[in-house]
Amino acid sequence: MSREQEAVARARKAFQTGRSKPIEYRIQQLKNLQRMFTERQKVISDAMKKDLNKSEVGTQLYETMGLEGEINLALKKVKEWAAPRPVEKNLLTLSDTVYIQPEPLGVVLIIGAWNYPWAVTIQPLIGAIAAGNAAVVKPSEVCVHTAKVMESLLPLYIDKELYPVVTGGIPETQELLRQRFDHIFYTGNSAVGKVIMEAAAKHLTPVTLELGGKSPCYIDKNCDISIACRRVAWGKYTNCGQTCIAPDYILCDPSIQDRVIAEVKKSIQDFYTDNPKTCPDYGRIINQRHFKRIMALMEDSTIAVGGDNDESDCYIAPTVLRDVKPEAKVMQEEIFGPLLPIIPISSLDEAIKFINKGEKPLALYVFTPDDKIINKMKNETSSGGLLANDCLVHYSVSSLPFGGVGNSGMGCYHGRFSFDQLSHLRSCLIKQLKMEGVNNMRYPPHTPKKLGWARFFILNSVDLGWAGRMALLAVLAVVAAVVIQNYLL
């Protein structure tokens, strides 16, 4: 048995004991996870510093604080989320108990990416635990130090049989993918997303794919360009541009291009000083492979700001590219680095046409004071999320489903959406062995008269309060008695 097979077998065996199901156990595990983030902040931050040059404050702000919030929410709400959810009934089922019962799926495989390794790996785990599942956790091997810390810390705090960590690279992930899971939750690029889906299809395993792509940013010429550029610069250069929902490129009227460049430049100086290389809040490219890839993307474009770099340190300065052509290299793939191309575009309609020519993005940004423009953009495009006049912050709202559409992914999570995504929503209808006469309308021999009654009982749904339900029940009992007496017997 391979190490991966063993981990999955152990997780399944642990799941079959039933211990992940009681709400108290789920709560206990989530509290342990919460304790890990309070007690081990230092070792977590140190690894993040080594992997991405994230500062201790940056690690808390962009990674662990959100997780603490998600754990708190799950602790507060898990009982409510896991409880039966009564639903509307039709007249035929009025006297029955009809509800949705969320139940755990079984063993979930969580495959994380490297750019926000804690956020994208542990957030699905919180959902998996809250929903009563077992989960095999596969951190990205690309963030070398963080993967090691995750592997050593998680078993110290949470049930190591129910939630094992499997480290390794592509061969190990592929070996995991050969095993049978009840759900696969993958975060990473769209090309590998297809590999994941193909492997999942062999076992008919459902998947959540949290992918990426080019998230456009339209800046209207009548907006406050200074504020817009400040927010765009923050969204772009945080984590050195290695953010799945970073604004990938700017579309704007040619008349404001120079102003946009000047304002982004000013924000870069405000945030990261004149020398971002020595600024503790400016990150690094994850490795030399990605450094080379990003540098090559700049080749056929004009640099307006930045451009300096140091391969030995995986440093690329915050960079703006001007008058970028749609055919330029930087426009052929998700940048995932600190390059901000500006594509001059003559109108809102042209911008919409440009966006719709590409794949459906994970996020779409529009900067304008005009609601009509926001609505037009919303109505005539599609994307995982839409934000007006800001970047990234929709990620932090746990009452919004986070996920992509089309090439940017499928399924969603955060807050209750994580719970639902990793639960089976089981339909339950509990009937009594009484009032058999009412069922005659569906039993053969079928007649037009019975069909008429069936239409009346089935096509009318009811959503009354308790008192209304009781009153209607009384009326229906009388109707049913009359029907049975006069027509069906």
* Residues labelled as active-site residues: 210, 244
Closest residue to bound ligand NAD by CB: 212
The Cα–Cα gap between 119 and 379 comes to 31
Residue ranges binding ligand NAD (CB under 6 A): 111-115, 120, 138, 140-142, 169-170, 173-174, 187-189, 192, 195, 210-212, 244, 334, 336, 362, 404, 409
Q: How far apart are the first and last CA of the chain?
A: 65
Residue with Cβ nearer ligand NAD (103 or 333) = 333
The Cα–Cα gap between 404 and 207 comes to 13
CA-to-CA dists, residue 19 to 32, 103, 159, 424, 430, angstroms: 16, 14, 10, 18, 26
Task: Please report which helix (H) or strand (E) contains residue 139, including its range.
Answer: none
Q: How far is C-alpha 486 from the geometric centre of its chain's CA atoms?
A: 57
Question: CB 111 → ligand NAD: shortest distance, Å?
Answer: 5
Task: Please report which helix (H) or strand (E) contains residue 57, including its range.
Answer: helix 56-59
Give the 3-state secondary structure of residue 470.
helix
Question: CB 216 → ligand NAD: shortest distance, Å?
Answer: 14
Q: Are the C-beta atoms of 34 and 65 separated by less than 8 Å?
A: no
Question: CB 345 → ligand NAD: shortest distance, Å?
Answer: 24
User: The sheet that has 134-138: what strands, in order across it?
Assistant: 134-138, 107-111, 183-187, 207-210, 409-410
Residue with Cβ nearer ligand NAD (4 or 334) = 334
Question: CB 121 → ligand NAD: shortest distance, Å?
Answer: 9
Structure letter (DSSP) for residue 24: H
Residue with Cβ nearer ligand NAD (5 or 174) = 174
How many beta carbons lie within 10 A of that of residue 348, not counting itself?
21
Q: Mutual orientation of helices 23-39 and 117-130 as an angle, nearest 10°?
A: 160
Question: CB 120 → ligand NAD: shortest distance, Å?
Answer: 5
Residue with Cβ nearer ligand NAD (123 or 267) = 123
Q: Which residues pair with 302 in a beta bridge?
A: 322
User: The sheet that has 423-430: what strands, in order across it?
Assistant: 85-86, 97-104, 423-430
Question: CB 11 → ligand NAD: shortest distance, Å?
Answer: 17
Residue with Cβ nearer ligand NAD (104 or 212) = 212
Which region holds residue 366: left if phi is over 0, alpha if psi is between -120 and 50, else beta? beta
Residue with Cβ nearer ligand NAD (336 or 457) = 336
Residue with Cβ nearer ligand NAD (69 or 437) = 69
Q: How far is C-alpha 106 from the geometric centre of its chain's CA atoms?
A: 20
